[in-house]
Amino acid sequence: MAKLSLFERRRRRVRTALRNRAGGRPRLSVHRTGRHIYAQIINDADGRTVAAASTLGEKSSGANVDAAQKVGKDIAAAAKKAGVTTVVFDRGGFLFHGRVKALADAARDGGLEF
């Protein structure tokens, strides 16, 4: 078996811990790249994406903290529209810092509970 990268090890550890304490709640999954940041709420029981938001279609100055805050507010609004109020936060292998933290805080301010 090939050695896993630190990112992949962190991602697997976070995902395993989430499964143990999710309790049937949907998962707010975050992915970030150098140019964009993406968030989606996934119902793992059905295997369906309930709501999604990203910086893809915008003419912004990249995926900075301000853009992450906007995506957080957008995903909270989309979740409310879909009837989701409580989620479990899945940061993947990303550290809870900077853009990921800004997105999470904005989602909490928008009404999501996690």
Start-to-end Cα distance in the chain: 35
Nearest to 114 by CA among 79, 82, 81: 79
Give the mean pLDDT of the chain.
Answer: 94
Q: Which helix (H) or strand (E) holds 41?
A: strand 37-43
pLDDT in tens, 38-85: 999 999 999 999 999 999 987 766 789 999 999 999 999 999 999 999
pLDDT of 60 = 67
CA diameter of the chain: 44
Q: Which amino acid is residue 10, in one-letter code? A: R
pTM: 0.92
Domain residue limits, the chain:
28-109
pLDDT at 15: 93
User: Can you name the CATH fold of 28-109?
Assistant: Nucleotidyltransferase; domain 5 (3.30.420)
Q: Taking a C-beta distance cutoff of 8 angstroms, is the pair 52, 63 a contact?
A: no
pLDDT of residue 62: 73
